[in-house]
Structure 1
Amino acid sequence: MTAFALLRESCPALFSLMSALFGTIIGSFLGVVAERIPPMLLDDEARINLLFPASHCPSCQHELAWWENIPLVSWLALRGRCYHCGSAIPLRLWLLEAFTFLFFGATAWFLPDIPTLFSLWLLSAFLLPLALIDLRHLLLPDCLTQPLLWTGLLVQLAHPTLPLSDAIVGAVVGYLFLWLLYWTFRLVTGREGLGYGDFKLLAALGAWCGWQALPSVILLASLTGIAGYCLFIKSNNKAASIPFGPALAVAGVITFILQSYSLTPLIICQMIFDIFSIRE
């Protein structure tokens, strides 16, 4: 950690650039995670995992050469199409790499200390594929939410930003809150308003941020979810199920960043209300 801190202090621009480039590599791998985990879970006949087979075109099965697999650059050089068969390469994969490039670079420049920075990167490495998978498949896999929870507890143990007891209570309260909300809504309406994956994701965020942060996480996620729902209805002109996982992911990252600047949950909630309140 000391070497990274010295590099950041002596040459912050170089440190941010190196972090951004590292982010593109992580983003490329997270794209593989987001694309492969759903068929691994939903298709019993799918013979794939995160490592095998090697990166290939899903249409013609052409195994990508090294120059076809350079983050950010290859998609642009190939103009978004497979070099072998010409089929389209999903734009979402390039956008993910671009986002991680910007996110890692920006956070490396602004976040106050190195351990918090690395913790944020680890948190986002779980939340990004979870959000993408939930958007496309309405699924929050246990193979990501459960390691995220345990990793949060271990991070608090190794680099405590809050008492470990607060992280444990946060995990329990986060799960139980949405579990109770789910059953209340189901008993009143006869319909399901949330999925069990949402409970586990909020439990994981409680482990990372502590039980005190849960009100701000829930408030931010609710506002983000409402905004996303309104945009979806406006663009599609129809009602549909809207995943809550991406909203929780956005709220979790924002809350974690604000906490790194010692902004308490009450201050965060007040800031949110001030931003979204209607002033006369």
Structure 2
Amino acid sequence: MISTVIFPAFFPIAAAVLGLVLGSFSNVCIHRYVHGESIVLPASHCPLCRHTLAWWENIPLISYLLLRGRCRACREAIHWRYPVVEAISGLWALLLALAFGFSPAFAVYLLFGQILIIISFIDLELFILPDVYTLPGSAAALAAAVFVLDLPWATSLAGAVVGGGAFLALQQGYKWLKGREGLGTGDIKLMVLLGALLGWQALPLVVFMAAVSALAVSLLYLRRAGSQGLQTAVPFGPFLSLGGMLYILCGPQIWHWYMGF
């Protein structure tokens, strides 16, 4: 009786802690993909001086604060990405726990959220959405949507086809008009993943939220960078990931509000 009362209240906190831990692992995946290293070996270390981290230097967020954002050995600044990824991951897990509780949906969305976080930060650094995540992720999304989330297989499959097909058409259309690439192939594969996971009905809202957030960030960047910002490419993958994550949290509510407006 006590556990049935305490566990629901405790679960969001436990989920946030789990999210922080997963965020720490996501940082490993991001950094080592960017630098072409194995995610298994060597042990966690400073990328500059190769100092092997003690256990207390690996506590998500807390270690960053204790170390004041610097390596204990060489005193060089720790990359801003580390606390940001951990904080985003922890917040994502907390919001999912509040929205879905202790459920299969929580586990599925937590996993795919980590994939989206990893590929987004890789895209920010390399302008690449790695096949090693998007291709297996798309297949896993189709299976999870059908067998765990109870999404009709036709809806999930149509989402993958419509999402990838629409962005492939945009890519080829832009290339035909401008004579150069304007949309990466990785974005097409990411849309296959999002379409399979969320279904075709979700895609218009996902793309809309991605476009609005990308426009807002671009305008802010242009304001700060001036005319030089016009020559700077902005990866779209992180914004598509954000659109997908926002849809998971509040997409159906937004649709209901819009239809009743």
What TM-score do you get using the length of structure 1 for normalisation? Answer: 0.85
Partner of residue 20, structure 2? 24
The CA distance in 2 between the partners of 1:100 and 1:92, in whole Å, is 12
The CA distance in 2 between the partners of 1:7 and 1:145, in whole Å, is 39
Partner of residue 126, structure 1? 115
Q: Does 1:168 align with 2:157?
A: yes
Partner of residue 110, structure 1? 99
SS state at 1:250 partner:
helix
SS state at 1:11 partner:
helix
Q: How big is the shift at 1:28?
A: 0.1
Kept in 1: contact 2:105–2:149 (CA 8 A): no
The CA distance in 2 between the partners of 1:111 and 1:147, in whole Å, is 25
The one-letter code sitting in structure 1 at the alignment partner of 2:49 is C
Kept in 2: contact 1:12–1:109 (CA 8 A): no
The one-letter code sitting in structure 1 at the alignment partner of 2:145 is Q
Identity %: 36
Which of 46, 54, 58 is 1:69 aligned to?
58
The CA distance in 1 between the partners of 2:241 and 2:119, in whole Å, is 8
Q: Could you say if the C-alpha distance between residues 189 and 8 of structure 1 is closer, same or farther in structure 2, counting changes exceeding 3 Å?
A: farther
SS state at 1:79 partner:
coil
Kept in 1: contact 2:162–2:195 (CA 8 A): yes
What TM-score do you get using the length of structure 2 for normalisation? Answer: 0.91
Which of 6, 11, 16 is 1:15 aligned to?
11
Q: How big is the shift at 1:16?
A: 1.0
Which of 231, 234, 246 is 1:254 aligned to?
246
Partner of residue 39, structure 2? 50
Unpaired runs of 5+ residues, structure 1, are: 1-5, 41-47, 275-280
Kept in 2: contact 1:30–1:125 (CA 8 A): yes
Kept in 1: contact 2:61–2:86 (CA 8 A): yes
Partner of residue 206, structure 1? 195
The CA distance in 1 between the partners of 2:256 and 2:166, in whole Å, is 22
Kept in 2: contact 1:67–1:74 (CA 8 A): yes
Q: Deviations over 1:154-178 (max 9, x none)?
A: 1123213320121112111111111
Q: How big is the shift at 1:231?
A: 1.5
Q: How big is the shift at 1:96?
A: 1.4
The CA distance in 1 between the partners of 2:171 and 2:18, in whole Å, is 39
Q: Could you say if the C-alpha distance between residues 10 and 65 of structure 1 is closer, same or farther in structure 2, counting changes exceeding 3 Å?
A: closer
Q: Could you say if the C-alpha distance between residues 195 and 206 of structure 1 is closer, same or farther in structure 2, counting changes exceeding 3 Å?
A: same
Partner of residue 146, structure 2? 157
Kept in 2: contact 1:8–1:15 (CA 8 A): no
Which of 114, 124, 127 is 1:135 aligned to?
124
SS state at 2:241 partner:
helix
Partner of residue 205, structure 2? 216
The one-letter code sitting in structure 2 at the alignment partner of 1:129 is I
Kept in 1: contact 2:146–2:156 (CA 8 A): no
SS state at 2:59 partner:
coil
The CA distance in 1 between the partners of 2:5 and 2:80, in whole Å, is 36
Q: Does 1:243 align with 2:239?
A: no
Q: How big is the shift at 1:131?
A: 1.0
Q: Deviations over 1:125-168 (max 9, x none)?
A: 10001111111211100011112111111112321332012111
Q: Deviations over 1:210-248 (max 9, x none)?
A: 112111111111112111211121122221111100110
The CA distance in 2 between the partners of 1:67 and 1:229, in whole Å, is 38
The one-letter code sitting in structure 2 at the alignment partner of 1:258 is C
Kept in 1: contact 2:187–2:237 (CA 8 A): yes
Unpaired runs of 5+ residues, structure 2, are: none
Equivalent residue pairs, number:
256
Partner of residue 82, structure 1? 71
Partner of residue 278, structure 1? none
